[in-house]
Amino acid sequence: RKEVEQDPGPFNVPEGATVAFNCTYSNSASQSFFWYRQDCRKEPKLLMSVYSSGNEDGRFTAQLNRASQYISLLIRDSKLSDSATYLCAPRGRGSTLGRLYFGRGTQLTVWP
Amino acid sequence: DGGITQSPKYLFRKEGQNVTLSCEQNLNHDAMYWYRQDPGQGLRLIYYSQIVNDFQKGDIAEGYSVSREKKESFPLTVTSAQKNPTAFYLCASSKGEDGYTFGSGTRLTVV
């Protein structure tokens, strides 16, 4: 089983829509989780950190379900500028402490 | 402003040549990482270092080498043993339980 799995999409939504992505992880000991956005041919940029059950920042909400080992990202009122690839990254524990495991990403396109 | 700088932005390598990618950070981060990204693929870990003078192999270390002589610097050498080096290389750093900060990347092409 892969460390992190994401639906690759693409998700194509109109402006103003609400869209949600899921990410499942295999290491039940992971304590912190991160969502990154990556624009085409650019580096990933940190969007949100999750250390407990969830986090909210403006139009973006991340929710963690430890029992089912998945984390979701919800984007409300989508903007054209939200078009990007969204990467999920749980942090390893034990011998891999400190290392993030990245999913392949979910591609989002917001159209006018 | 603090940040993480990768150079060069674009690099062309001839067959059989070793090349070194630079990564420098002034964020006072303890840990540094090198990832490789191929088109349509996720990030794959090459090497990482949690403290100065120590580093560990990641998932795809063959054909690569690193050093960590200073906290600020973590250069990556792509050796001639790496048979398919064309990719986007990303360096990152982190402190404690925080997420990574990435550099802007180096695009390496074999000519």
Closest residue to B42, CB basis, from A34, A46, A105: A105
pLDDT at residue B55 in the model: 95
Rounded percentage of chain B residues whose pLDDT exceeds 70: 99
Stated as kind and residue range, the H or E segment containing B94 is strand B87-94
**Cα–Cα separations (whole angstroms), residue B34 to B25, B44, B52:** 13, 9, 15
B103/A41 CB distance under 8 A:
no
User: Residue A43: closest CA among chain B residues belongs to which residue?
Assistant: B104
- Give A80: exposed, middle or buried? Use CB within 10 Å, 0-12, 13-18, 19+: exposed
Q: What are φ and ψ of residue A58, in 5° steps?
A: 65, -120
Nearest chain A residue (CA) to B47 = A99
Question: Does A42 sit within 8 Å of B42, measured CB to CB?
Answer: no
The mean predicted confidence, pLDDT, of chain A is: 91
Identify residue B35 by its one-letter amino acid code.
Answer: Y
Contact B99 A36 (CB under 8 A): yes
Q: Does B46 touch chain A (CB under 8 A)?
A: no
Give the pLDDT band (50/70/90) at residue A15: very high
Instruction: State mean pLDDT over B10-34.
Output: 94
A47: nearest CA partner in chain B: B99
A10, pLDDT greater than 80: yes
Query: Which pLDDT score is estimated for B83?
Result: 86
* Tokens matching residue B100: 């990574």
Tokens standing for A56? 């909210």
| Model confidence pLDDT, tens digit, residues A65-106 | 999 999 999 999 999 999 999 999 998 876 556 689 999 999
Using alpha carbons, select from B41, B87, B42 the residue that is nearest to residue A103.
Answer: B42
In chain B, what residues touch A105 (CB-CB under 8 Å)?
A: 42
Contact B57, B66 (CB under 8 A): no
Predicted pLDDT at A94: 61
Model confidence at B103, pLDDT cuts 50, 70, 90, reads: very high
Q: What is the pLDDT of residue A95?
A: 55
| Residue A89: per-residue pLDDT | 95
pLDDT tens-digit profile of A23-67?
A: 999 988 888 899 999 999 999 999 999 988 889 999 999 999 999
* A44/B99 touch (CB, cutoff 8 Å), yes or no: no
- Name every residue whose Cβ is closer than 8 Å to that of residue A96 and which is 6 or more positions away in sequence: none
If we measure between CA atoms, which residue out of A84, A79, A86 comes closest to residue A103?
A86
Q: Return the pLDDT at A40.
A: 92
Q: How far apart are CA A64 and CA A73, in angstroms?
A: 9
